[in-house]
């Protein structure tokens, strides 16, 4: 039961991260390799508030959401928007996000040194499991992460289908040129998509230390699973990325546990499962499960 709960928590957090990756890919065509590092804005925001103001990590979520969102906007405005305007190739954009990821790795490494010097407590390696508690027999991280996903899906549905800005956002995703002709401010919708991507990743990062140990390199390690989730589900489908997150999350958690029972501790190799699933999806269903479902639906409609 403990393993299943852990798999569900991991899948919830992976969904928050992969939705953000999918949104920015749809709106700007950028495969953001820094998405995992965006999560660390939430992790270090929570750690900073905990060590300096004694604020519980769960209470840090609103600030982490805002910090991550602003970070996403800054990365897009300073590093990617100029390249998009120059119609840079997807390879160039990909390299730019890799550069951003390395820069963020250095920033978090330096900040962890600063925070350690300021508080006298470990910041290069930390975990929040001792701060978690139970409600009705369930770990709070399970309840909070599940609630976050349900709230997010409901909010996205309301945004996309019940607001004018949401309709404009969908239009800019589907056909930015036509949307601009129709009067949609595509630049604003793209900026918002990067705010949302960074905010969701940072929220996941605020929860992540309740599940695993965090180091400055964590973002660069988890990006494999984020891309696998988006590609398996369909990197051009938000709801497909959610489905892919639960498939990859449960597969990575449960298969690693089962294999470790037979061959010993191999958790360090859990990302291999995600890589294998991503390769299989790219070969058999390049558009992911969402593309398969869409194709079958078109056949029968």
Chain-centroid distance, C-alpha 282 = 20
Q: What is the DSSP string of the chain?
A: -HHHHHHHHHHHHHHHHHHHHHHHHHHH----TTHHHHHHHHHHHHHHHHHHH---GGGGHHHHHHHHHHHHHHHIIIIIHHHHHTT--HHHHHHHHHHHHHHHHHHHHHHHHHHHHHHSS--SSB--GGG--EETTEEHHHHHHHHHHHHHHHHHHHHHHHSHHHHHHHHHHH-HHHHHHTT--HHHHHHHHHHHHHHHHHHHHHHGGGTS-B-TTHHHHHHHHHHHHHHHH-TT-HHHHHHHHHHHHHHHHHHHHHHHHHH---GGGTHHHHHHHHHHHHHH-TTHHHHHHHHHHHHH-
Is residue 210 in some structural domain?
yes
Judged against a pLDDT cut of 50, whether residue 301 lies above it is answered with no
The pLDDT value recorded for residue 118 is: 93
Closest by alpha carbon to 210, among 146, 259, 268, 266?
Answer: 146
Mean of the pLDDT values across residues 254-277? 74
pLDDT in tens, 10-28: 999 999 999 999 999 988 8
Mean of the pLDDT values across residues 251-267? 74
Is residue 223 in some structural domain?
no
Is residue 198 in some structural domain?
yes
How far is residue 47's CA from residue 210's CA, in Å, rounded to a whole number? 12
The pLDDT value recorded for residue 299 is: 36
At CA 146, angle to CA 143 and CA 149, rounded to 5?
Answer: 150
Mean of the pLDDT values across residues 165-190? 83
Is residue 184 in some structural domain?
yes
Judged against a pLDDT cut of 50, whether residue 298 lies above it is answered with no
Is residue 277 in some structural domain?
no
| Residue range(s) defining the domain that contains residue 41 | 2-218
pLDDT in tens, 203-218: 999 999 999 999 999 9
Q: What is the pTM of this model?
A: 0.92
How far is residue 180's CA from residue 211's CA, in Å, rounded to a whole number? 43
Q: What's the domain count of the chain?
A: 1
Is residue 157 in some structural domain?
yes
Is residue 159 in some structural domain?
yes
pLDDT band at 185 (very low <50, low <70, confident <90, very high): confident
The pLDDT value recorded for residue 12 is: 95
Is residue 247 in some structural domain?
no
Burial class (CB in 10 A: 0-12, 13-18, 19+), 166: middle
The pLDDT value recorded for residue 267 is: 58
Closest by alpha carbon to 212, among 22, 47, 6?
Answer: 6
Backbone angles phi, psi at 31, to 5 degrees: -80, 95
pLDDT in tens, 86-143: 888 889 999 999 999 999 999 999 999 999 999 999 999 999 999 999 888 889 999 9
Q: Which residue has the higher pLDDT, 4 or 43?
A: 43
Average pLDDT for the chain: 89
């Amino acid at each position: 039961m403990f393993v299943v709960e852990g798999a569900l928590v991991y899948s919830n957090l992976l969904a928050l991260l992969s939705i953000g990756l999918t949104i920015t890919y749809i709106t700007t065509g950028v495969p953001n390799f820094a998405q995992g590092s965006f999560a660390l804005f939430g992790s270090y925001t929570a750690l900073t508030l905990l060590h300096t103001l004694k604020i519980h990590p769960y209470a840090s979520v609103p600030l982490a959401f805002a910090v991550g969102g602003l970070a996403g906007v800054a990365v897009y405005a300073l590093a990617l928007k100029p390249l998009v305007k120059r119609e840079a190739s997807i390879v160039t954009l990909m390299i730019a996000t890799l550069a951003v990821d390395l820069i963020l790795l250095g920033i978090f490494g330096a900040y962890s040194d600063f925070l350690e010097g300021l508080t006298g407590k470990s910041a290069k390696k930390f975990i929040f499991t001792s701060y978690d508690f139970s409600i009705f027999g369930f770990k709070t991280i399970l309840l909070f992460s599940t609630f976050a996903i349900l709230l997010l899906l409901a909010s996205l549905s309301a945004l996309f289908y019940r607001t004018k800005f949401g309709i404009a956002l969908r239009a800019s995703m589907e056909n930015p040129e036509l949307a601009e002709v129709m009067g949609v401010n595509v630049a604003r919708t793209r900026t918002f998509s990067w705010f949302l991507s960074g905010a969701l990743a940072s929220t996941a990062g605020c929860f992540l230390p309740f599940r695993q140990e965090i180091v400055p390199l964590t973002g660069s390690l988890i990006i494999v699973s984020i891309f696998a989730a988006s590609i398996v589900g369909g990197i051009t489908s938000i709801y497909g990325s959610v489905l892919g997150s639960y498939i990859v999350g449960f597969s990575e958690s449960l298969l690693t546990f089962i294999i470790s029972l037979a061959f010993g501790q191999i958790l360090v190799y859990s990302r291999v499962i995600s890589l294998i699933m991503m390769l299989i999806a790219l070969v058999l269903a390049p558009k992911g499960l969402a593309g398969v479902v869409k194709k079958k639906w078109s056949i029968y409609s």
